[in-house]
Chain A
């Protein structure tokens, strides 16, 4: 095989973690950092890894990664609104009906939403086609609260789903909702929790999807919804 004579630049290296040949959704933020900042982050992370082995404590590695993710996401462009709505609740939690809605991409294995018309899409395919997802209207999956974690699947091309695969409650805390309801923190849960893939067309979400979701949750009679983005 012929070797390329072109050396990869450091900038190309860090960009490759964002859906490039080194795609890693826990480290895709590297592409949002200035090369100088990215190089310092990597150097510091290497030091922290060795210290964490010596000290048998991964806390510093986690903090370093957290700081890197915060620095990267701070640079991203976003919707910017001068003001926003606020609905003040006029009754205590003990009389409220709550629901759960996350953008984590969870669904029942028996009810795969078949995104982009694809049967049994894998996580890898979802990552490969994330820019197609960003043109599409989201689909709301319904998951009964009594479903077992083993009945659930997660697929989302925008984030590292490994933790969510081990335990859905890291981003879809449906079992924790049941526990708090049982303890009497709030009155009632809806029969189902809800999830969609947050990597979707924002215009379609705003213009086409959300009016239907609002009607749906109004008809459920919910007072409040816990929302979890990923």
Chain B
């Protein structure tokens, strides 16, 4: 919830945001009407993946950052596979 509020405040101030969240947060992300969200199939507490899995971390982060260019409207939620 906290990060959702940060995203809404930043977007209101013309600072774009993208959120990387675990899939378990999908409902709360949708309810908060957030701009760009990448959902990852990871366990709570490790949204970028397992410790030291650099390749996985990088792929997730890169996919999220690309959403800054591709998303066109609020509520853009994408699953990372």
Contact = CB atoms under 8 A, between A and B. Distances in A.
Interface in A57-108: 62, 65-66, 69-70, 72-74, 76, 78-89, 92-93, 96, 98, 101-103
B62 A180 contact: yes
Contacts of B5: 79, 202, 205-206, 210
Interface residues of B, number: 61
Interface string A195-216: 0101110100110001101100
A223 interface: yes
Given A70-B24, A160-B44, A210-B5, A180 B11 contact: no
A205 B9 CA distance: 10
A170 B57 contact: yes
Interface string B6-37: 11111111111111111111111001111100
Contacts of A218: 13, 15
Interface string A151-173: 00000000111111011011101
Given A87-B11, A180-B58, A226 B65 contact: yes
B17 A103 contact: no
Most buried by B among A69, A84, A167: A84
A123 interface: no
Contacts, number: 216
Interface residues of A, number: 72
A46 interface: no
Interface of B: 1-28, 31-35, 41-52, 54, 57-58, 60-62, 64-66, 68-69, 71-75
13 contacts: A69-B44, A73-B24, A74-B26, A79-B4, A83-B33, A159-B44, A171-B45, A171-B47, A177-B61, A179-B58, A186-B65, A206-B9, A230-B45
